């Protein structure tokens, strides 16, 4: 049975008819065509599907769609300005060489955003903890950590 939910998606009020078993990942990709939300493992283990819900980075592949009723959801599509200017965290990822194949990048950027919104000056350890659930096969993580440090430096 479908249930109509309303929530905020990248700053816009939206509604959707969801089923009980539908994941937030499927809702965002299939109904809203937000393909920056990647499907990797589908089991909550790789972080490719990370989005921000009410300030918390979480894995959309195991999060029930109906639970975003009344919440604020941010995907990678919500970060750049309407004019297409990259968010400072995205700029830092580009500048620090933290993007290679790019599959993990939306998730890592959103985990970084949730961290920096909560803690504008994180330690390296805090950064590594924040992205611990975001697997990257390409970069070895050093550039990702440096990108987040760079982004934190720009904000302060
Ligand atoms: S696709 Fe969601 S954690 Fe891997
Ligand atoms: S840039 Fe390829 S998986 Fe991270």
Report which of residues 82 and 125 the model is more confident about.
Answer: 125
Predicted confidence at residue 154, as pLDDT, reads 72
Q: 119: which 2 tokens?
A: 């803690």
The ligand with the least distance to the CA atom of 46 is 1
Q: 40, 41, 100: which to mutate for ligand 2, most atoms within 8 A of CB?
A: 100
pLDDT at 1: 85
Largest CA distance in the chain: 48
Range 88-116 average pLDDT? 98
Q: What is the mean pLDDT of residues 128-153?
A: 97
Closest CA to 102 of 128, 73, 139: 139
Distance CA 59, CA 91 (A): 23
- Residues whose CB falls within 8 Å of the CB of residue 153, separated by 6 or more in sequence, listed in order: none
Token look-up 């968010």 returns 87
Q: Which residues line ligand 1 (CB under 6 A)?
A: 39-42, 44-49, 59, 61
Query: Distance from the CA of 146 to the center of ligand 2, in angstroms?
Result: 15
Alpha carbon distance 68, 5 (integer Å): 8
Going from the Cα of 110 to the center of ligand 2, the distance in angstroms, rounded, reads 14
Q: How confident is the model at residue 156 (pLDDT cuts 50, 70, 90)?
A: very low
State the pLDDT confidence band at 51, using cuts at 50, 70 and 90: very high
Average pLDDT score over the chain: 96
Domains and CATH numbers, the chain: 2-78 (3.10.20.30), 88-155 (1.10.150.120)
Which are the contacts of 75, defined by CB distance < 8 A and separation ≥ 6? 9, 10, 28, 34, 36, 37, 51, 106, 110
> Which one of 49, 103, 131, 137 would you pick to mutate in the ligand 1 pocket, going by the greatest count of ligand atoms within 8 A of its CB?
49
pLDDT grade for 155, boundaries at 50, 70 and 90: low
| Interatomic CA distance for residues 17 and 21, integer angstroms | 12
Q: Is the pLDDT of residue 150 over 60?
A: yes
């Amino acid at each position: 049975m479908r249930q109509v939910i309303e929530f905020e998606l990248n700053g816009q009020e939206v509604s959707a008819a969801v089923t009980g078993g539908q994941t937030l990942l499927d809702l965002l990709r299939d109904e809203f065509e937000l393909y920056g939300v990647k499907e990797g493992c589908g089991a909550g283990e790789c972080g490719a599907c990370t989005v921000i819900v009410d300030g918390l980075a979480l894995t959309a592949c195991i999060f029930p769609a109906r639970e975003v009723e009344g919440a604020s959801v941010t995907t990678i599509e919500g970060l750049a300005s309407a004019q297409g200017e990259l968010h400072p965290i995205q700029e830092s990822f580009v500048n620090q060489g933290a993007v290679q194949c790019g599959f993990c990048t939306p998730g890592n950027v959103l985990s970084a955003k949730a961290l920096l919104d909560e803690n504008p000056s994180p330690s390296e350890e805090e950064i590594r903890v924040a992205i611990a659930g975001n697997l990257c096969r390409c970069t070895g993580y050093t550039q990702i950590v440096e990108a987040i440090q760079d982004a934190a430096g720009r904000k302060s």
